Amino acid sequence: MIIRIMGEGQVQIGEGDIDVLNLLDGELEAAIETDDETQFRSKLHALLDKVRQIGKPLPDDALEPSELILPPADASIDEVRDMLGDSGLIPG
């Protein structure tokens, strides 16, 4: 699966890594639902850090279509709320 982090580029992750990302995504959604800015910031960074940790960066000149697009680390709670689909940022 190819994931783009806005402003950073693309990484490729294995299908087996989706479950851990879904857990972090659920925690992020909970922080957004309660409008908890501190928790939101913490959970967004945890999700992005995990994607960076497990993902294999693609070359900058790669033109692969991204299956998921994640917000940048400095995104606001409202920006991320607008990006959420019915199944969060990471579809299960």
pLDDT digits (tens, 9 = 90+) for 61-90: 887 899 999 999 999 999 999 888 666 777
Q: How many angstroms separate the CA atoms of 64 and 4, rounded?
A: 10
Nearest C-alpha neighbor of 90 from the set 19, 10, 30, 42: 19
- pLDDT for res 86: 66
Percent of the chain topping pLDDT 70: 95
End-to-end CA distance of the chain: 13
What is the pairing mode between strands 68-70 and 56-57? unpaired
Query: How many C-alpha atoms does 40 have within 13 Å on its Cβ side?
Result: 19
pLDDT digits (tens, 9 = 90+) for 5-16: 999 999 999 989
For the segment 49-65, the average pLDDT, to the nearest whole number, is 92
Model's pTM, two decimal places? 0.90
Give the number of other CB atoms < 10 A from CB of residue 11. Answer: 20
- pLDDT for res 26: 93
